[in-house]
Structure 1
Amino acid sequence: MIPKLFSYLIPIKIFKKKSARSKTIEVTWANGELVLDSENTNYSYGSLQRILRYGLRNIGYDKILKMDHILVLGVAGGSVIKTLAEEIKYKGKITGVEIDAEMIQVANEYFNLNQIEQLEIIIDDAFEFVLKTKEHYDLIIIDIFEDIKMPNFLFESFFSNRVCQLLKNKGFILFNTMILDEAHNVRNKKYISEIDSKLFSTKMLPRVEDHNELIIIEKVA
């Protein structure tokens, strides 16, 4: 494929669309692989896939393989779902929640997300879904961005407490955050300090791919 070959020299954009939710969605060949970007950052595959893969590896692929149900809040192109299903060979159920239906159309067309049999996609606001769901999960992956911004609700104690309530015993939360200034550092430290240390252990993996910090929460009691 000619665009794929040329992409080792220069990124080749093959699709661009304005989205009401995500503003700009772009699919690009870069270094021989398809990536999904917003106007200012990588949304799926590329660096984002490396970031979340690193977080999953830190939790432990052996533990993930034993899980029954994983929740992904913020699907975009579905790179972390592909990592789970195709690289780790996870066979349990995956529920993906994505607010932008147009993003899922792109994910299906360019990244074959709809070919993952154990995946259920729900078009909904993550905040609303977390309030409504009756399920409990072994792993909850939070990867929600509006371009380079993260919605404030993600860091509010009401939301974090609710997400923690949805974990099964020995379950994990993998939360991808972006650090662009000192205020973001303070925000993340405050977030960690508000997690109940009697019930949960927390770990921070800083400066993953320059600007990302992963927060891992494990339910220990």
Structure 2
Amino acid sequence: MLHKLFSYFIPINIYKKKSSISETIEVTWNNGELVIDSKNTNYSYGSLQRILRKGLKYIGFERIKKFDNVLLLGVAGGSVIKTLVEEIKFKGKITGVEIDPAMIEVANTYFKLNEIPNLNIVIDDAFEFVLKTKETYDLIIIDVFQDTTMPNFLFEDFFINRVNFLLRKDGFILFNTMVINDGNRERNLNYKNKFNGNYSLRMYPKVETHNELFTIKKLH
């Protein structure tokens, strides 16, 4: 494919869509990879897939393979789902929550998310979904961005406590955050301090420059 070949020299945009939520969604060949970008950041595949793959590796692929129920808050193009299904060979249930239907439309067209049998996509706000769901989960992946900013609710006690309640004992939260200024750094330190001895928390700073990952295990 010529697009793929030429993309090693220069990124080649093949699709662009306006979205009321994500502003612009672009599908681009970049260094031989098909990626989804918003106006200012990579939304799926490319660097984001590498970041979340590292987080899953920190938790442990073999451990994840034995889980039954995974919740993903913020699907975008679904690159972390591809890692779960294709690389880890996860056979359990995956629920993906995405607020932007235009993003899912692009993900289905270019990355065939709708062909993954153990995946259920819910178009909803992440905050609303965690309030409503009656299920509990072995792994909760939080990857919620509006371009380069993160909604404040992710760091508020009510949301944190609700997510912790939905997490099964010995389950994990994988939280992808962006740190681009001192305010973000302080926000993340405050977040870290919200977890007591019932949890084992690890921070992984400077993953792909601006991202900081948290893995949080529920001990009790």
TM-score by length of structure 2 reads 0.99
Runs of 4+ in 1 over 4 A off after TM superposition: none
Structure 2 counterpart of 1:84: 84
Structure 2 counterpart of 1:207: 206
**Aligned pairs, number:** 220
1:166 maps to a residue whose letter is L
Write the distance in 2 (CA, Å) between the matches of 1:148 and 1:26: 15
2:197 maps to a residue whose letter is K
Write the distance in 2 (CA, Å) between the matches of 1:113 and 1:163: 25
Write the distance in 1 (CA, Å) between the matches of 2:192 and 2:33: 35
Write the distance in 2 (CA, Å) between the matches of 1:101 and 1:47: 23
Query: Unaligned 5+ residue runs, structure 1?
Result: none
1:185 maps to a residue whose letter is R
Structure 2 counterpart of 1:3: 3
Shift of 1:194: 1.1
Shift of 1:198: 2.3
2:97 maps to a residue whose letter is V
**Mapping of 1:188-199 within 5 angstroms?**
188-195=188-195, 197-199=196-198
Structure 1 counterpart of 2:41: 41
Aligned-CA RMSD value: 0.5
Write the distance in 1 (CA, Å) between the matches of 2:198 and 2:174: 16
Deviations 1:33-91 (A, max 9, x none): 10000000000000000000000000000110000000000000000000000011111
2:64 maps to a residue whose letter is I
Write the distance in 1 (CA, Å) between the matches of 2:176 and 2:155: 12
Write the distance in 1 (CA, Å) between the matches of 2:164 and 2:133: 13
Residue identity (%) = 66
Structure 1 counterpart of 2:181: 181
**Mapping of 1:123-202 within 5 angstroms?**
123-195=123-195, 197-202=196-201
1:208 maps to a residue whose letter is V
Structure 1 counterpart of 2:111: 111
Shift of 1:199: 1.3
TM-score by length of structure 1 reads 0.99
